Each structure stands twice: as C-alpha cells, then as structure tokens.
Amino acid sequence: MKFTIKFSPIGKRVIESRPRLLLDMAREEGVGLKSLCGGKGKCGKCKVMVNPANEPTAVERKLFTQDEIDEGYRLACCTTIREDTQVYVPPSSITEEQKLQIWGKEVEVKPFPPVRKFFLELTKATLSDTRSDFQRIKEKLNRKYNVKVENADSKVLNIIGPTLRDSDWSITVIVKGSEIIGVEPGNRTKESLGIAIDLGTTKIAFYLVDLLTGESINIYGITNPQIAYGEDVLSRIHYAGNKITNLKKLKSEVLKSINLAIKKICRESKAKYRDILEATLVGNTVMHHIFLGLPVKQLGLAPFTMATNKSLEIKAREVGLEISPGGYFYFPPPIAGFVGSDHLAMLIASEIETKEGNLIAIDIGTNTEIALKTKEKIMSCSCASGPAFEGAHIKHGMRAASGAIERVSINSKSLTVKVSTIKDKSPVGICGSGILDAISEMLRTGIIDSSGKINSGYKGVRKIKRGKSFEFLLAKEGRREITITQQDVSEIQLAKGAIRTGIEILLEETGLKAQDIDGVIVAGAFGTYIDPLKAVRIGMFPEIDIGKFNQVGNAAGIGAKAILVSKKLRGQANQLARRVEYLELATHSNFFEHFTSAVRFPPTK
C-alpha cells in the first residue's frame, strides 16, 4: 500500500510504500529540517506539526504543552509515518528561509502622508492661563502651523499632561486629519515611520517606510502561518467557515506573526515599533476578511459576496496591531470576492490608469487576477488557475525554496537536459518557473504534442514508463528521481488554459485583439521568474511581442507602500476600485468555448 506525505509550506510531496521515520525521509528528500542532536530526541529542533499524529512519546510529552500535543506537534525524529500524512514545518524548524519573492519594481510616489508631525514650544500653564493641555496645543498648532485639530485620541490624552511637564513644554505633536494621535517629548519631527503589508495566502511581505521621503527603510518577508490550516484560500474558507473559533484562530495566528515580524524588522533597522505611525494592508479578499475577523463562509459559496467593499480606516489597536498607540490602520477596498485589494494595489503601482494604450495587468497565483485597461474602461476578472504554478498537484512540485529546479533547457537533438536550481543546491523538486520551462522545452523538442500527450516514440533514457503512461526524467540525485508526468502536463494545461481564457474573454468584451495590446504588466513572484517567451510558447499568453512584457515583481506590496505614504493615492485607489468593472467568468456565455481551445498547446513552428 502506498501513502503520500505532503510537506508544507515548501509544497513537496513524497510517496512511500513502507513505514519510515519522518526525519530520515525529510533528509533524503531534501526538506531542510533542523536537527542538532542528530535525531536523538534531545534538541527539540525538528519540531513539526503532523496530521494525523501518533501517540506522543514521553520525550514529546515533556517537550510540548498539552495544547501543542493536541494540535499535532511532534518531533520528526520520534515520528514514524505509516499513512497519508500532512507535515507542516514551522519557520523555526526550517534550515533556510523559503525564497520569498518580495522585491518589487519601485515607483516614484510623491509623499503626501496622512500623518504629520509638528514641533511646539508652549508657554507654561499659570493661574492666569488655565487653558487645558489640549486647548493649549490646539491653539498653538493653529497659530504656528495653521493646522486645525478637533480632538485627541483617548489614549494619547492620557500622556499629554505628563509629556508636557517632563519635557519643559516642548513637544512633538502627531496629527492625522483633525485628530492628535500622539505626542513625543522634544523635537522628533524628522522621524516618521509607516509599515505596508502585503498579506498573501502563502507569504507576507513587509515594507518599513519613511513617511517623509516615501522610501523603504527595510523589506522583510515571512511565510503566512495560516498555511498550517490549509494551503489555499478555499481550504482556509472551509476551516474558518466551520466555526467562529477557527476564524478567530486564523486571525490571531496571522496577527501574532505580523506583530513579531514588525518587531523584527524594526530591530534590524534600529527603529522602535511604537514609532510606526500608520499601517496599510493589502491582500486577496479572503485574507482581507479573515484578518479583519469578517465572516468568510459566504466567500466560498456562489454568489461569493463580500462583507464589505469599502476601504477601512481603524485604530491599529482595535485590530490588535502593535504600532504607535494612537496610530491608524488603513485597508484599501477589495474589488470583488476573488479580486482583492492586492489587485487594486498592483493597478496603483503599475499606474495603469495614467499610462497610454491598451494594457493588460496580470498577477499569477492560485487565483490569477487579470485587468484589461482600454481608453474607455478597466475590466478585471479572476481565473481559477490553481496551485500548479506554485508546485502543488505536480508530482515533484514544490515552492520556490532552495533546491527547486527553476530553469530547464533541453537539447533538441540529443534531448539532454540542463537544469539549474535555487541556491544551486542538489535538486529537491521543481518549482513553478521550472515547470513552465520544462513544459515549454518539451513542447519545442517534440517530447509532447499540442494535445499535451507525451510522445511515446522518442528515444533515450529520459523516458520512463510507469503503468500505462510515460514520465520525462529531468534530474536524478541518488535514489531521488525528478520527473514530469503526463498528469503534470495536464495540470499545467488546465492552469495556463484558465489564464488564457480570462485574457480572451476580456479581449472579447472590450472588442480588442491580441495585436491591439500595447503592454503586458506581469506581477507576482511566479510572474517575475517566468520567461515570457516560454509562457507565450505554451499559449498561456496570446502572441504578443516579447518587448511589450514588463515584469514588475511584487507590485501589490509596492502599491500598498504607495497607498501608505500618499493620501492622494488613497483617494485614487478608492475611485479606481469603484471604476473597475468586475467580470464573472464562470457565467460568461463563451466560457467553455474559450476554455477548450485554451487548454491546447499552440502548434510548434
């Protein structure tokens, strides 16, 4: 009997046919799991979460709390796997941080910060001038800077009095709109920090920003800890929709990680997290809803209605975010159930509204959002491209972690294969850009035909027969064989077919042809690593001149940053969110026609 072990977050799957010690298996398969004591159950470093979990050993009982035991935490060196098992490797147990694509092409944003600081030297209160502390500050702000405030945050009111008296009546006042959101002793007007967060299903990216210049001080990425409760948005909806405590758990897990990450990024930058004056967060609608504790059940059922499509501005402390006590947290609006504020932020970062011509902007992921901008309008849709490009549903697929094959080239005559891996480690599996490369090369060299079938006719050791179908061998490392299977090819066909369908329907709705497109903005981690030429070759994109492609990296994060530093852009983003027309693909009359054509590969030239 065979059983499958799935490692998250790296997305690696292993099929076994005999009971094996988890630590041994992880090492053999190249999963970077820590172990200091060499598997003696002493160091506790190889902590993982397994489901289903064995009865805990005495060592594990001693090492873990009852809550942890109940949640399935075990030591890999004490765990024998005998059946289908999910193994979650927490960040603390992983030898190397996953390759997190958080770089993004910077756009120049003129800072127009919604939070400003003012230095005031006040006259002391006397019996002939008994104005309240607030009144005294209010009048001086008006007189000196022509700034009108109406109220002060209730937590800040508590510290105004002592701060004034401890700093000899010279203070820095932090103002947002007509509210005083903070006071600091002395002159601190030169320091003004903000944080922009891109909350993805898999990764979370942080940008610590100087609000005065709009520049990033530090960039940081972590894995979304919710991965332990489901890899994609649908499994998160399912888990969170089951009961309210689950929703709260997902919310609190991600909040805890975000607070820790903010502290870490601040420590690295010699900043204090309490000095962060404002935060923004973008994400897909499910991430957005879960983070805010909004119900998500309805996002998983037709007609996929959001709780709200408004931007939100709330006190960070109301959400539990640990920044300045009076600071605000701004959430740009989601556009639709499957088109989130990350898509909106991407559109803002790519300045799609102000650019000339007909433009496509695309962010490839488990859900791929595509926008098409013409002279008249902007339409967006979401395609269920699935997780194949993130390495899931692919036999040897994995995320873009070290040891993942990311580039493949095949010699068309000898059919010899050259692969390169992330960090040049010996190959562990194959990640999204590697899969796209492999399929494209296999198509070019005739190993597969345009229906996707692996050609049984070609010769060489690379062809492996398993049961009735063939696999193509990309790399071999000891016992470990990394292959592309017929099933893998089909998965990629479905994925790229979904994306192409979205593009075709948008073109149809706007009356345009592929040659009318003046530019394609490709965003996101996967989108940045792919070779557009190969994406066109497998038909994921229509025939568009390669020079028109522009790979911009994590544009959602860059957009979140732009929205953080500019009040003006917030207004634009809100208008844009209302302007974007959401197109529901599933109910489009020509959906199946487009789809059946899009899953085929274009004929090789």
Residues binding a second copy (CB under 8 A): 125-136, 150-152, 154, 157-162, 165, 292-295, 297-298, 302-310, 312, 314, 318-319, 336-337, 582, 584, 586-587
- In angstroms, what is the minimal distance from the CB of 478 to a second copy? 52
- Closer CB to a second copy, residue 112 or residue 582? 582
Q: Which is nearer to a second copy, 300 or 446 (CB)?
A: 300
Q: Quote the least distance from Cβ 554 to a second copy, whole Å.
A: 26
Q: Give the integer Cα–Cα distance in Å for 257 and 265.
A: 12
Q: How far is the CB of 584 from a second copy (least distance, A)?
A: 6
Q: Smallest distance from the beta carbon of 501 to a second copy, in angstroms?
A: 18
Helix (H, G, I), strand (E, B) or coil at 485: strand
Asked if 502 contacts 381 with a C-beta cutoff of 8 angstroms, the reply is yes
Provide the minimum distance between the beta carbon of 150 and a second copy in the complex, in angstroms, as a whole number. 8
Minimum Å gap between C-beta 139 and a second copy is 12
User: Residue 175 or residue 484: which is nearer to a second copy going by CB?
Assistant: 175
Closer CB to a second copy, residue 333 or residue 452?
A: 333
List, in order, residues 6 or more apart from 147 with CB less than 8 Å away.
Answer: 116, 118, 141, 175
Reported as half-sphere exposure (CB side, CA atoms, 13 A), residue 287 has a value of 28
Task: Tell me if 183 sits within 8 A of 189, measured CB to CB.
Answer: no
- The nearer residue to a second copy, 336 or 360, going by C-beta atoms, is 336
d(CA 486, CA 436): 14
Shortest Å, Cβ 341 to a second copy:
13
Q: How far is the CB of 58 from a second copy (least distance, A)?
A: 36
User: For a second copy, which is the closer residue by CB, 90 or 241?
Assistant: 241
How would DSSP label each residue in 570-601? HHHHHHHHHHSEE--STT-TTHHHHHHHHTSP
Alpha carbons 494 and 322: distance in angstroms, whole number: 42
CB of 303 to a second copy, least distance (A): 4
The SS3 of residue 482 is: strand
Q: How far are the Cα atoms of 143, 178, 433, 454 from residue 146, in angstroms, in the given order? A: 6, 12, 55, 73
Instruction: Give the whole-angstrom CA distance, residue 268 versus residue 262.
Output: 10
Between residues 160 and 535, which has the closer beta carbon with respect to a second copy? 160
Smallest distance from a second copy to CB 197, Å: 17
Judged by beta carbon, residue 124 or residue 143, the one nearer a second copy is: 124
- Take residue 348 and report the two structure tokens written for it: 């803002």
Residue 233 contacts by C-beta under 8 Å, 6 or more apart in sequence?
201, 284, 286, 287, 366, 367
Of 269 and 305, the one with the shorter C-beta distance to a second copy is: 305
Question: Minimum Å distance from CB 143 to a second copy?
Answer: 18
Q: Which two tokens stand for residue 147?
A: 């700034």
Tell me how far, at minimum, the Cβ of 369 lies from a second copy, in Å: 16
CB of 302 to a second copy, least distance (A): 6
CB within 8 A of 182, min separation 6: which ones?
153, 156, 173, 174, 277, 324, 325, 326, 327
In this structure, are residues 389 and 447 in contact, taking their beta carbons and an 8 Å threshold?
A: no
Instruction: For a second copy, give the closer residue by CB, 89 or 585.
Output: 585
Report which DSSP code applies to 350: T
Going from the C-alpha of 152 to that of each of 140, 188, 289, 399, 574, the distances in angstroms are 15, 19, 29, 47, 27
- Cβ proximity to a second copy: between 3 and 582 the closer is 582
**Dihedral sign from CA coordinates of 323, 327, 332, 334:** positive
Q: How far apart are CA 386 and CA 234, in angstroms?
A: 11
Residue with tokens 């996101």: 524
Please identify, using beta-carbon distances, which residue of 379 and 517 lies nearer to a second copy: 379
Give whichever of 41 and 241 is closer to a second copy, judged by the CB atom: 241
Q: Is 82 exposed, middle or buried (0-12, 13-18, 19+ CB in 10 A)?
A: middle
101 contacts 529 by C-beta, under 8 angstroms = yes
